[in-house]
Structure 1
Amino acid sequence: MMLADRLAAYAGFLTFQNLPPEVIHEVKRRVLDSLACAYGAITAPPCRIARRLATRVAIKEGATVWGTRHRTSPELAAFANGTAVRYLDCNDTYLSKEPAHPSDNIPACLAVAESLHVHGRQLIQAIVLA
């Protein structure tokens, strides 16, 4: 079986109920850490620029651009919010063996979940898969 097929099968059969409690706990920790990083970076110039760009598009049932009351497309919210999450982490000096930090996917998962009114368990499952 090809790697892509194995990954697709894993994603297709993973359920929240199959997740160990330790994994659920760690996902929650990563989400809180990401929100704290975004809060700390909210006034940084690149984050303000990203928010300005994202708020040019208004979508009533979209996703929130953090630090505003504005809703935009999930893509633009993920971009602006992701900029804030990663800004203080010095992403250009990321030296871990993993190819990406877990928080890279969290703003996108949150934006899609908010715009689709997804249940929290589905959000956690999506973050695990991401």
Structure 2
Amino acid sequence: MTTTLAHRLADYACALEFAELSPEVVHEVKRRVIDSLGCALGAWTEEPCRIAREITSEFSAKRGSTIIGTSHKAPPDWAAFANGCAIRYFDYNDTYLSKEPAHPSDNISAALAVAESFGATGPELITAIALAY
């Protein structure tokens, strides 16, 4: 039986350990998280971000994820939505310039939400974000 590319990627993702990341990668992931949080806070007063927070405030979860800038915990998907809106609003987040440019930090709001909801450690979060990139 041939292993598909999808299976090989999944095996790699499941096997990667924080200790395998270079200090440079860890440093750059931390920079991307700080940058994303700054983008989210900068967009705090913007109407679409306010609306996203308002919608998200209708959903609560004990083991949820924090909406940036509040004490409210929402289910991870809703937190990722509201936080992602704020991170992305001004389009100041990082850019990967390639044949088709992308914003890989769009993954950060989802990684933060899932990590908080499941009680992941800092190294686990950093590893997840490095994988997302």
Q: TM-score over 0.5 for the alignment?
A: yes
Counting only pairs closer than 5 Å after superposition, residues 73-84 of structure 1 correspond to structure 2 as 73-84=75-86
Give every structure 1 segment of 4 or more consecutive aligned residues whose post-TM-superposition deviation is greater than 6 Å. Answer: none
Which of 38, 48, 51 is the matching residue for 1:49?
A: 51
Q: Say if 1:30 and 1:102, in contact at 8 Å, map to a contact too.
A: no
Q: Equivalent pairs: percent with the same residue?
A: 59
Return the TM-score normalized by structure 1.
0.90
Q: Which residue of 1 aligns with 2:105?
A: 103
Which of 114, 117, 126 is the matching residue for 1:115?
A: 117
Is there any run of 5+ residues in structure 2 with no aligned partner, and where?
none
Cα RMSD, aligned residues only: 1.8
Once residues 8 and 44 of structure 1 are traced to their aligned partners in structure 2, the CA distance between those partners, rounded to angstroms, is: 38
- Aligned residue pairs total 128
Q: Say if 1:78 and 1:111, in contact at 8 Å, map to a contact too.
A: yes
- Structure 1 pair 95–108 and aligned structure 2 pair: CA distance change class (3 A): closer
Q: Which residue of 2 aligns with 1:8?
A: 10
- Structure 1 pair 21–47 and aligned structure 2 pair: CA distance change class (3 A): same
TM-superposed CA distance for 1:95, in Å, is 8.3
TM-superposed CA distance for 1:89, in Å, is 0.8
Q: Which residue of 1 aligns with 2:74?
A: 72
Once residues 126 and 25 of structure 1 are traced to their aligned partners in structure 2, the CA distance between those partners, rounded to angstroms, is: 14
Once residues 95 and 28 of structure 1 are traced to their aligned partners in structure 2, the CA distance between those partners, rounded to angstroms, is: 17
Is there any run of 5+ residues in structure 1 with no aligned partner, and where?
none
Which of 31, 36, 39 is the matching residue for 1:37?
A: 39
Which of 26, 29, 33 is the matching residue for 1:27?
A: 29
Once residues 68 and 12 of structure 1 are traced to their aligned partners in structure 2, the CA distance between those partners, rounded to angstroms, is: 32
